[in-house]
Amino acid sequence: MTHTYGVRLVGILVSGVMFCLIFASASAAQIATTATLNGSVTDSSGAFVPQASIVVTNEGTGVSRTLESNADGRFALPGLTIGTYTVVVTKQGFQKYTVTGIILRPESVTSANPVTDGRLSHV
């Protein structure tokens, strides 16, 4: 009789631990707070612009992060806090490109491409 009681108790404990693990996983998925912003920079002819300076600013907090486009004119910025962003792209010899109102949602990948939103043009 004691043996049966011990088996039931272990079964209840295992069930409780499994429930907590499942609940913790579901909760963690619901509280994601970051996203990725990526894109590519081109000039007015459609050619990719390497080493363009890209400043990404959270419109709600004013916090900015800066990076450069790679040799192919592409960029990716993971780990951004969810929110609404402004992207400013500059490169010597080109006009400044600005896009506002980019909304980043949890665990999403959002593109801000001067290719589709407007192109840098030579000064």
Residue 73 structure tokens: 């004119």
Please report, for the chain, the start and end positions of each structural domain, with discontinuous segments joined by +. 1-31, 34-117
Residue 77: C-alpha distances to residues 56, 68, 98, 105, 116 (Å): 9, 10, 17, 14, 18
pTM, entire model: 0.67
Residue 37 has pLDDT above 60, yes or no: yes
Q: What is the mean pLDDT of residues 67-94?
A: 92
Cα-based distances in Å from 99 to 5, 10, 33, 49, 114: 66, 58, 22, 17, 9
CB contact at 8 A, 112 and 99: yes
Residue 81 has pLDDT above 90, yes or no: yes
* Burial of 59 per CB tally in 10 Å (0-12, 13-18, 19+): middle
Model pLDDT, residue 60: 96
CATH of 34-117, one of 1.20.58.220, 2.60.40.1120, 1.20.1440.230, 3.40.350.10: 2.60.40.1120
Helices of type H across 1-123: 2-30, 114-117
Q: How far apart are CA 36 and CA 104, in angstroms?
A: 8
Share of the chain above pLDDT 70, in %: 63
